[in-house]
Amino acid sequence: MISGTKAKRPGLDKLLSDARRGRFDVVMVWAFDRMARSVRHFLEVLDELNRLNIAFVSFRENIDTSGPLGRAMIVILAAINELERSIIVERVKSGMRRAKLEGRQIGRARLDIDREQVVEDRRTGMSLTLVARKHSISRASVCRLMKESKENSNLAGVNSDAALVPQVQV
């Protein structure tokens, strides 16, 4: 899923591309705020659709967007939607700051595993899949732990590339 806060979205880009090719006459959305989150971006999209003679219909708001009164209503509703989105974002950030100050965990809990053992098992030549199974974690987690280990040893001035290659005696 792509956020409506982004101006460049694959679905919207494809819709506008098809609109420029004249593949349809009407764009129907559930609500104005599903098209864009900022007034400016919404009006840019609507202007392009109007320029291409494509009608815009919102199921929830049910406003005729072709006339000046409809356009004024769109601007007002889009501004309210943008304000609502900004308020939600600020509340979430505030709640996360408060939780962090209270010492609560933000996000997923850290894996309860022996990280050094995971890295050691992988460095001794055990396959990615076997290490993941042994420690009941995903292969991606093994890769991430290896990368973190490499970054940490680079910070400590250790040549970690040599440590990743299993040592073979001849």
pTM: 0.50
What are the extents of the domains in the chain? Answer: 10-101, 115-157
What pLDDT digit, counting tens, does each position of 78-125 carry? 888 889 889 999 999 999 999 999 998 888 777 788 989 999 999 999
DSSP string, 46-86: HHHHHHTT-EEEETTT----SSHHHHHHHHHHHHHHHHHHH
Look at the alpha carbons of 44, 47, 52, 53 in this order and tell me if their dihedral is positive or negative.
positive
The CATH number of the structural domain formed by 10-101 is: 3.40.50.1390
Look at the alpha carbons of 128, 129, 130, 136 in this order and tell me if their dihedral is positive or negative.
positive
